[in-house]
Structure 1
């Protein structure tokens, strides 16, 4: 459809694997490859707004493909050889009204 192409990033999801002897769930990290994700530097105005609202500094904004069904809120993601943490709400547009392949966006902060 377009010449714009995203990159493959790794989304870290927690998956329940078992329960401990006290009945509490035990989770393990599962790496999920998500293809065609747009990565762009966050605009200065958005950085200031997020810093004032949440105390977190947005570094990149990720464009999520329309067909993606993963949960993104408060997840860890890996790209450019670094760890990032998604924060804030997922901004989603009406799929039919957006001409390109992405209709959701999230912001990430650097995470160690």
Structure 2
């Protein structure tokens, strides 16, 4: 079961996609750390465009981007970062909360959190 199935708000994606499976490979653009929570946020492109895109998105948009927040983060480790950070996001349930990891050739992110949610979904045209 992929990470979208562990979201606090899976409808943020299930309303756009016929299936929220096979969304594990992300291209991470930005990692934000916020001490309030603490929260770790990833801004990343999803691997495919949704079957039911929002009517509010720009005409011709062909890439969808999410902001996923990991809430109540503990034991965070981060190593590396490059201009291309395409890798696999994994979320595993723990007795209380979740373990999360993102592994790319140039980036390794690991930690534990009490929950995760989609904070934003947007789309753009990649030429």
Q: TM-score, normalised by structure 2?
A: 0.29
- Point out which structure has higher relative CO (alpha carbons under 8 A, 6+ apart): 2
Compare the two structures and name the one with the higher helix fraction. 1
